[in-house]
């Protein structure tokens, strides 16, 4: 991948601040990745506007059922869009669906996710509320490979932030977001440079 840019397909369901950070990094000539497409299950996703702003092709694959598992047909369609856009790496950025089939089959070992906690603590939803309620002193974000578990794949990068006495869910997540944007951009850069080596549960940075 050293002689060409790594094509990143981003899947996002919400406002898209991580997607925006990726788009911003991709504008830099020396950054080794480019945003190839944005795919969302949510026609209202802020990420769609960001895609338009940055000239990234954006696609809505509407899903009739509520949150949770992605129906096979929708995942098939998302995989098809990624293949069509020659995606090398799929980056989940606030994608609120659980992958089970076609994307994992097609892009095994080439899907990453960002989670707003220091995994394996506080997987799943509302991680920063869980962290505040539990009373931890440190939280942060994790970029990890996606496998068939929920938030359980091999960890690429983590970045910590303090949890302050007067934090609530909102103030903590804002602090975590700042770290997320840096960590996700860095993890994609490392992947694009071919510097991530998975050895069992451990990801070595070469
Ligand atoms: C982030 O906190 C990310 O860790 C989680 O969903 C959130 C997405 O935020 N998976 P944004 O849409 O990128 O602003």
Q: Which domains does the chain have, with CATH numbers?
A: 6-195 (3.40.50.170)
Asked whether 140 lines ligand 1 (CB < 6 A), one says no
CB 45 within 8 A of CB 78: no
- Cα 70 to middle of ligand 1, angstroms: 18
Mean pLDDT of the chain: 95
Atom of ligand 1 nearest to the CA of 173: 2
- 126 is a catalytic site residue: no
Angle at 152 between CA 167 and CA 185, to 5 degrees: 65
Per-residue pLDDT tens digits for 6-33: 999 999 999 999 999 999 999 999 999 9
Q: Tell me the mean pLDDT in the region 179-196.
A: 98
pLDDT of residue 128: 97
pLDDT of residue 126: 96
- Cα 49 to middle of ligand 1, angstroms: 16
Q: 193 Cβ partners below 8 Å, 6+ apart? A: 1, 2, 32
pLDDT of residue 3: 61
Looking at residue 10, the DSSP 8-state letter turns out to be E
Given a cut of 60, whether residue 1 has pLDDT beyond it is no
Residue ID of nearest Cα to ligand 1 atom 6 = 94
Query: b or e along 176-189 (b: 16 or more beta carbons within 10 Å of the residue's beta carbon)?
Result: bbebbbebbbbbbb
CB 192 within 8 A of CB 179: no
Given a cut of 90, whether residue 70 has pLDDT beyond it is no
């Amino acid at each position: 991948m050293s002689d060409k840019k790594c094509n990143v397909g981003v899947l996002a369901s919400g406002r898209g601040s991580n997607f925006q950070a990726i788009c911003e990094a991709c504008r830099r000539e020396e950054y080794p990745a480019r945003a190839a497409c944005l795919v969302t299950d949510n026609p209202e996703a802020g990420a769609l506007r960001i895609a338009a702003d940055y000239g990234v092709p954006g696609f809505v694959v509407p899903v009739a059922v509520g949150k949770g598992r992605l129906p096979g047909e929708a995942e098939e369609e998302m995989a098809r869009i990624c293949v069509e856009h020659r995606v090398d790496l799929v980056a989940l950025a606030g994608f609120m669906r659980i992958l089970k089939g076609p994307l994992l089959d097609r892009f095994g070992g080439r899907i990453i996710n960002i989670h707003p906690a220091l995994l394996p603590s506080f997987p799943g939803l509302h991680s920063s509320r869980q962290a505040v309620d539990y009373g931890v002193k440190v939280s942060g974000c994790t970029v990890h490979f996606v496998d068939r578990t929920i938030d359980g794949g091999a960890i690429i990068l983590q970045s910590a932030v303090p949890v302050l006495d007067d934090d609530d869910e909102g103030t903590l997540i804002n602090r975590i977001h700042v770290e997320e944007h840096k960590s996700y951009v860095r993890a994609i850069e490392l992947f694009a440079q071919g510097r991530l080596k998975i050895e069992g549960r451990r990801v070595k940075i070469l």
